[in-house]
């Protein structure tokens, strides 16, 4: 099953890339970087756009557009997901690739940032059409990807099966099996234990670290709202529920549900799996996606898409902690409003890094052909997330900045330091 979300933006709203650059400029303003290095790191290393044909089941040929952007390869091969969405455009992919550079550096894993996407609503394709689209897009990416240069992964609208098709297409092209070409693939072809739930689980580890700093409430007294019930949001809600937190609202593309006494998340998952709509879960009030963001709660987890928290709704958010499961869900203007109000924002490149951390573990396991059990993967994930939170918090205290600026400062500085050490070629 694939999940997709509509992007709703205000008229004349900033693009994801505008937001990424604004965040970058803000963070760099606190760093003593050489101005040439600062300018260099703004630009993607390479951008790839392809238009390719796909045969539909009725015999028609339809053209699709796909992208892959490598923002940085300074710390290692570039790493980033592939999303299938009708809202994909080059600006969005550029922004996501840049955020991946800082996320990987912040997580202290030897990757640069990349991202890819195809302009398509995967729900409109049959299984066969989805496979043909994926294999053709993968074939077009062959010059861009390899286990040592660029390793794709799932993102919004894609899943382990799609990664399996990419892995097989690449392997058939080079003539031998290459499990390490993608991460987030099924276990039986070299995937890692713990990868599917890694991003959502990491979001809750970050949330728990934040709450220890700002709240003395017990888990059962802590109300959580989750926007988005795809892989990230669903797994975040499930792990929070398992730890005893009160998840009072969740939503998907169709709308949301709210119960002030808490939702039975396993039952919500079952209802959504059967119908494709969380609203079919009966023991809750139906709410709209916009309304969901402003429900009374202690923690808000935006886990859908970019720009959902903006200057039009930031004043109305009740949460005291926002933990970003999605990439770029909060605009810079909303950041300013929320910071002024004293809301603690755990930023995307810190909070949702669990996916790329376990992707790194998967890549290492594939290269070594030696696999870890789930307990080992989750133990290493939790240790990494706690370490990254502490490092970000220390940076925030040292420079008297918010966590987002601190996280970006750490990531940018690590990439800048590596660039200075390596030098500018030739």
Give catalytic residue positions: 115
Give the CA distances from residue 241 to residues 131, 159, 209, 271, in Å, rounded to whole numbers and listed in that order.
35, 24, 16, 16
Q: 116 has which bridge partners?
A: 68, 82
Q: Which helix (H) or strand (E) holds 238?
A: helix 231-242
Query: What is the CB neighbour count within 10 angstroms for residue 134?
Result: 25
Query: Which residue's entry shows tokens 């290269």?
Result: 367
- Order across the sheet with 46-55: list the strands: 46-55, 61-70, 112-119, 78-85, 150-154
Instruction: Specify whether the backbone of 307 is left (phi greater than 0), alpha (psi in -120 to 50) or beta.
Output: left
Q: How far is CA 426 from the centre of its chain?
A: 34
**Any idea what the Cα angle at residue 16 is, between residues 129 and 414, rounded to 5°?**
105
Strand ranges in 56-186 using DSSP code E only, listed in sequence order: 61-70, 78-85, 112-119, 150-154
- Pick left, alpha or beta for residue 133 (phi over 0 → left; psi -120 to 50 → alpha; otherwise beta): alpha
């Amino acid at each position: 099953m694939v999940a997709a979300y509509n992007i709703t933006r205000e008229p004349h709203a900033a693009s994801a890339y505008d937001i990424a650059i604004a965040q970058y400029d803000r963070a760099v303003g606190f760093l003593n970087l050489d101005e040439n290095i600062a300018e260099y790191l703004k630009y993607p290393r390479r951008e790839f756009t392809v238009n390719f044909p796909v045969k539909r089941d009725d015999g028609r040929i339809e053209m699709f557009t796909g992208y892959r952007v490598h923002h940085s390869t300074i710390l290692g091969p570039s790493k980033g997901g592939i999303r299938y969405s009708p809202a994909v455009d080059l600006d969005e992919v550029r922004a996501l690739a840049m955020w991946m550079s800082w996320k990987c550096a912040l997580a202290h894993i030897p990757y640069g940032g990349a991202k890819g996407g195809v302009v398509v609503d995967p729900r409109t394709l049959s299984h066969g059409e989805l496979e043909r689209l994926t294999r053709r897009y993968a074939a077009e990416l062959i010059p861009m990807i390899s286990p040592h240069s660029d390793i794709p992964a799932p993102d919004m609208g894609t899943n382990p099966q799609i990664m399996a098709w990419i892995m097989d297409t690449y392997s058939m092209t080079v003539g031998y099996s290459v499990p390490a070409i993608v991460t987030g693939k099924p276990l039986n072809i070299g995937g890692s234990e713990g990868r599917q739930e890694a991003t959502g689980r990491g979001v809750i580890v970050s949330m728990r670290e934040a709450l220890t700093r700002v709240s003395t409430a017990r888990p059962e007294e802590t109300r959580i709202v989750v926007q988005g019930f795809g892989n990230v949001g669903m797994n975040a809600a499930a792990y929070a529920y398992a730890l005893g937190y009160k998840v009072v609202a969740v939503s998907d593309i169709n709308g949301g549900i709210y119960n002030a006494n808490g939702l039975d998340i396993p039952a919500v998952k079952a209802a959504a799996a059967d119908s494709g709509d969380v609203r079919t879960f009966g023991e809750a009030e139906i709410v709209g996606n916009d309304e969901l963001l402003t429900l009374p709660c202690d923690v808000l987890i935006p886990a859908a898409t970019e720009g959902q928290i903006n200057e039009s709704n930031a004043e109305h958010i009740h949460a005291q902690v926002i933990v970003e499961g999605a990439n770029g869900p909060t605009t810079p203007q909303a950041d300013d409003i929320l910071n002024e109000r004293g809301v603690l924002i755990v930023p995307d490149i810190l909070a949702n890094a669990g996916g790329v951390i376990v992707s790194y573990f998967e890549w290492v396991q594939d290269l070594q052909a030696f696999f870890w059990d789930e307990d080992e993967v989750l133990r290493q994930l939790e240790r990494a997330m706690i370490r990254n939170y502490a490092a970000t918090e220390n940076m925030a205290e040292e420079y008297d900045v918010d966590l987002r600026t601190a996280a970006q400062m750490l990531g940018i500085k690590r990439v800048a330091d590596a660039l200075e050490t390596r030098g500018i070629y030739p």
